[in-house]
Amino acid sequence: MDLTKKAKEELEDRIDKIEEFIASKGVGATYLKKAQKTQRDINLALLLVGIVTVAGIAAWVNGKNN
């Protein structure tokens, strides 16, 4: 059983390496990198907007109570 499990793990590792190589050097790799960077920037912007909104609502409610 160990031999088949070890062989399966080695094959999966090789497949992962091949997929990573294709993602970094294959067709559309630069587009993929740009899309990932854009997605990261959008996520950070949404997080920042959410934090500012919550802080604004909290300040508004706090100011209204006084």
Q: What is the pLDDT of residues 19-62, one digit of tens each?
A: 888 888 878 888 888 999 999 999 999 999 999 999 999 999 99
Calculate the CA 61 to chain-centre distance: 34
Q: What is the pLDDT of residue 1?
A: 61
3-state secondary structure of 1: coil
Pairwise CA distance, residues 50 & 57, whole Å: 11
Count other Cβ atoms within 10 Å, centred on residue 37. Answer: 10
| Backbone torsions φ then ψ of 27, nearest 5 degrees | -65, 130
Task: Record the tokens describing residue 20, joined without a space.
Answer: 């990573």
pTM to 2 decimal places: 0.58
Is 40 in contact with 34 (CB distance < 8 Å)?
A: no
